[in-house]
Structures are given as C-alpha cells and as structure tokens.
Amino acid sequence: MNKKRNFFLKILLFWFSFLGTIQAQIIFKADFTENRHTKQVMPYHLNVYNRITPVNGVNSAGDNKNAKFCIVRPLGGIAKKGIADITKDSYKWDAKSKKFYTDFTLLKKQVDGILDKGLEIHQIVLDNPSWAFQRNSKGKLVGDSLKVSTYGNAEPPADNKAWANYLKEVIKFIVSTYGSEKIGEIQFNIGREIGTPSHWSGTKEQFFEFYKISSKAIHKVLPKAKVGTHFLWGSSKNAWGTDFVKWANANNVHYDFVGVSFYPFYQRSERTDFDKVYNKDFAVIKDIPEWNKNAKLEMHEYSLIKSLSKAGNSFKKAPEAHQNSFMIGLMKMFYQNNMQNIFQWGDGSSYLPASNLLLTMQGNTYFESKKEGKQQEGNNYIDAIFTKDAVKNKYNVLVYNYSANPDANNMETIKIKALINIKKGTKVKYRIAKYNKIKNNVVWSNWIETYTLKEDEDKSSVVFSNKLPVFSFLKYEVVLLTESKQKL
C-alpha cells in the first residue's frame, strides 16, 4: 500500500512540477503583418562620446567608425587642484588695460583636434563660464574671490549682457573659421547637468533667464542653430527639466533638445525597472502637454554604476554582464518611447557585445510587442525588441534578462511568436546569437531551416522556445527564403 501511495505521490509531484514549468514561462508576441504596430525606423543611439576639454585631440572610440563627439567645458572656467586655472579661459580680464578680451586659441585647438581626424562634433557645451565672468563690468571680482566648485566655475555670470556679447563672439569665431554649413550641423548645449550645485550655483529662475539670454545670443549670429540644455533625471532631488519645459512653453522660448543624466545603481529595483524608470525620470519631461513636439530628449550622461564616490564626481561601473544585459533593456525603452542618443564616457567597451548587435539592427523598423506569462523569478526584468529589416527580408528578436539582485543566478524559460505575411508551411532559416557571460562575447549558431505554422489563410508564424540566464541576452535572426530555395 505504501509503495502505491509513494508511486502516486511521485506522479503528482511530477505533474505539479511540469505545470509549474509551463506557467513559469514568458511569452513574447509581435505582429509583423500590420503597420499599425510599427513605431519608428531605428537609429543607432550609441555613436556620441563625451570628451572634457580635449586640447590634445581625442582618442578613438573603439572600432566605431561613425563616432561623434561632445566637447565638454571648452570655454574655460576650469579648476586645477582646487585653484582657478585662468590659462584655459577664452574670456579674460587684462589688469593693465582694465579691459575684457577674448582668446579662442584653445577652443580652436579642441575643435581642430576632432575635425582634423575626419571625425564629427555632435555638440559643443557652453557650460562653465570663464573665470572673468565672476567680475563685474569694472573688472572687480564679485564677492572678492574666485569661487571654485567641484568642476570649476559654477557661478552665474556677474553681467548677463557681457555674457551674451561674448557668446556672439564665440559663434562668430566658429562660423568664420569652419563655415556656417559645417557649424549648422552641430548643436549647442547651454549648461550641463543643471540642478547640480557643482555645475550651477544659481537658482532655477536664474538659469532659465540665463538660457533665454544665451539662446537669443546664439541665434543672433546663427539663426538656425540647434540649441538646448541638460538637466538631471526626473526623480532626482533638483529635477528642473519639467519646470523648464513648462516655462519655455509659457514664455515662447525655443529649444531643440533637452538632455538628461542617468546614473542608475545596478542593484536598485527602482533604477532598473524600465517601465518605472521611464515614467518617473523621462515621461515627466517629454510626455507632458507643454513639450515641444519637434524637440528630442537625449541622455547626455550615462553609466550603470556599482558605487559612487563621496564627492559624487566618480564611480565604479557595474560588471560587464550587467552592463550588456541592461543596455538591451535601455535601448528597448529608447525605441519604444522615441528617445535619442546616449552620450558615453570612454569608448563604450564595457557593453560592446550588446552595442555591436544593436548596430546591426540600425535602419530596421521597430515593432511593438506583447509580453505574457509568468516568470520564475519575480525580481527579473525580461523583455524583447522585435524588428524587421525590409531590405534583407529578415526579422530580428533580441531578448534580455536583467535582475536588480546583482548576485542572481537563475534561468528563465521564454517563448517567441512572430506573425508574418506568408502562408503556413513556408520554409525559413534562422540562427541564434547567445551572450557568453564568462568571455563577454556573442556566439552564433549555424543557420537552421524550419517551417512556419498556420495562423489563417495568408498568415503564419514562427515560434521558438529557449532558456535565458539572468544577466544575458540572445538574438534570433529569421530570413525568408526565395522561391527557388523553397523547392530545395
């Protein structure tokens, strides 16, 4: 009797286990048959790199042949070992003649260091004012001292009119040196990470006025110049982005872009759950009625961080596997919500396997998808990017698995279903790319042939099942075969 009871118990346990496995499965679905599910033709968002005062030129950004650069702190206002370094200033005070004058030698050297290599400049940041702007119109230091912050001069100019006239000279110099056509492709960012006292010590209202004065000065010389600014993420302590958008709308002040910083801690769920992140940090700026529909929202500083220094001006990055899986999720958020460009520090090598796969999808059409089912681990964030390459008659599905628990070591079961405008039983070929966490690379399978499954008269589907470890990603590439190959 006991043997029979144990036998039935084993059977029940088996079926409960089996049913649990069936339930603990994430299903991703996309319909490639209707254009109403499309969002955009996908750009590659990882081409822009930040460089601080690059007076000695710029180092290459890995193997990226289309790299563009953002010049940070090109005007001066820099501190060296806690002391104002006026040698880097492009606006200076001459104590003998008691006059202000401009010197664009170092500004030109920074621009030349990029353009002479055949590289492009995406943005010039008009951030730290030269130290001379702490002086009033008579040359006297405001407060009788040079106020040094973490990054140099964070003080608002003592004379806004002098600042506006200076900015006109900056733009005139750049245009006369490089031509309006070349400069017209570059955007100008007024301020950097505004809301951080070490970048701007003035009030919010002072900065808004500063922006208006600055943008008008630039447009006086270059009427079609692309101008914008840069704030902290929406849920940060001094998040001024939302107020700026509302103020600009109410006061008819133009902007072509708004930049935000994003430094998520890799182990915090509120910083790694992309639905929550978008709603709290970016939608509050971009998806409000006052937003300029012709403007773009960019991420001007980003890194997935493990820890932050006490001063808040340096950090340790998260491990490579975390960086790569998180980047896929970040790009899913970008494509879904029409965000643009991540300005990277360094060369982006910490998430190169992910960025290389994303680069191959440039120019694809992004399709919205649905996520169903139940995952095994509640703290995991799993999602997929579905795209169509109309030129190569190819479909791509890129799936990632990330967790806010940095020590997680679980596996999720996934199922992918894509609806395509072809008849059932059509032969297709596919291959799979899987991320190898240990070697930090991507390994491709050979091409495999399969047949589509019936949906209705003229539509069928491709269906795949797989397992996806945490802190990894995989990609399916599906290619439709020509009629001649269908008969082989």
Distance of CA 445 to the CA centre of its chain: 30
Torsion angles phi and psi, residue 169, rounded to 5: -65, -40
Q: Which amino acid is at 129?
A: P
Distance CA 54, CA 345 (A): 13
Residue 75 contacts residue 90 (beta carbons within 8 Å): yes
- List all residues 6 or more positions away from 478 whose beta carbon is below 8 Å from its beta carbon: 394, 395, 396, 397, 418, 428, 429, 430, 462
Residue 128 contacts residue 152 (beta carbons within 8 Å): yes
Instruction: List 442's β-bridge partners, or say none.
Output: 435
From the list 62, 61, 64, 63, the residue with the least C-alpha distance to 49 is 61
Tell me the CB-side half-sphere exposure of residue 371, using CA atoms within 13 A.
14
**Residue with structure tokens 């997935």?**
304
Distance of CA 87 to the CA centre of its chain: 34
Torsion angles phi and psi, residue 304, rounded to 5: -85, 115
**Residue with structure tokens 């190819």?**
394
Q: Which two tokens stand for residue 308?
A: 């932050």
Please list the active-site residues: 193
